[in-house]
A and B are shown apart, each in its own frame.
Chain A
Amino acid sequence: DAGVTQSPTHLIKTRGQQVTLRCSPKSGHDTVSWYQQALGQGPQFIFQYYEEEERQRGNFPDRFSGHQFPNYSSELNVNALLLGDSALYLCASSLRVGTGFGNTIYFGEGSWLTVV
């Protein structure tokens, strides 16, 4: 049973460019969340997708957008990259139904984005 998979593992982009990160949730999970983890800090919630719609959003600008596909996989897009966008981007999957404590949230290993 595959866990949460993310791609690419590492990437380097130039300031002003756009980037797309991808996530496949754990088998059977229908909800995908994205977190940004700057170096030496805790993860911060970006947004969550369920039924192909953005359901919750953290304090991130519109440059951060996402998408969820019918197979529950998801993409995170960041436009007009800034140096401060350099971080580890974590994808987390869970079950929407019965939300709360009963659902274990599984994380991927993340995508390291460096903006130069």
Chain B
Amino acid sequence: AQTVTQSQPEMSVQEAETVTLSCTYDTSESNYYLFWYKQPPSRQMILVIRQEAYKQQNATENRFSVNFQKAAKSFSLKISDSQLGDTAMYFCAFMKSGGAGNMLTFGGGTRLMVKP
């Protein structure tokens, strides 16, 4: 079984600054996918960024980037130029490659507050 741990229950950052959210995971799988999801007060989970475990290059999506350290089983999210709209819960999630389908294992979440 896989586990995902987010050790920062809450974080805050000033608008326009940079913040990093931490995530570690435990798995015996060699190939898998990792995701960061954002959940604003509207409750809908929105995919922020994703990473394939076999790719060494860190994924980047506009202001969002990850630091993927496979050996350390670490997958942190960096948000640059933080905006008020980034205020939300952020969840790190794991998915096994192939097999039975698209089942996600989530961490407990980090509440991010962007302050003006």
A, B assembled together: yes
Interface residues of A (CB under 8 A from B): 31, 33, 35, 40-45, 48, 50, 55-56, 58, 88, 90, 92, 94, 96, 99-101, 103-105, 107-110
Complex-state Cα separation, A42 to B38, whole angstroms: 11
Q: Give chain B's interface residue range (CB within 8 Å of chain A).
A: 20 to 34
5 nearest A-B residue pairs (beta carbon): A42-B106, A107-B45, A94-B102, A109-B44, A101-B33
Complex-state Cα separation, A42 to B107, whole angstroms: 6
A-B contacts, 27 of them at CB < 8 A, read A31-B102, A33-B101, A33-B102, A40-B109, A41-B109, A42-B91, A42-B108, A42-B109, A56-B100, A58-B103, A88-B43, A90-B45, A94-B101, A99-B98, A99-B101, A99-B102, A100-B102, A101-B33, A101-B50, A101-B95, A101-B97, A105-B102, A105-B104, A107-B45, A109-B42, A109-B43, A109-B44
Interface residues of B (CB under 8 A from A): 4, 6, 33, 42-47, 50, 52, 91, 95, 97-109
Which residue of B has the minimal Cβ distance to A59?
A: B1
Interface pair B42/A55, CB less than 8 Å apart:
no
- The B contact surface, by secondary structure, is loop
Interface pair B104/A55, CB less than 8 Å apart:
no
CB-CB under 8 A from A40, the residues of chain B are 109
Knowing A41-B109, A42-B91, A101-B33 touch, does A50 contact B101 (C-beta < 8 A)? Answer: yes
Query: Which residue from B6, B50, B106 sits with its C-beta under 8 Å from A44?
Result: B106
Complex-state Cα separation, A43 to B109, whole angstroms: 9
Knowing A42-B91, A110-B43 touch, does A103 contact B107 (C-beta < 8 A)? Answer: no
CB distance from A3 to the nearest CB of B (A): 8
Interface pair A55/B97, CB less than 8 Å apart:
no
Interface pair A55/B33, CB less than 8 Å apart:
no
Which residue of B has the minimal Cβ distance to A107?
A: B45
Complex-state Cα separation, A107 to B38, whole angstroms: 11
CB-CB under 8 A from B6, the residues of chain A are 42
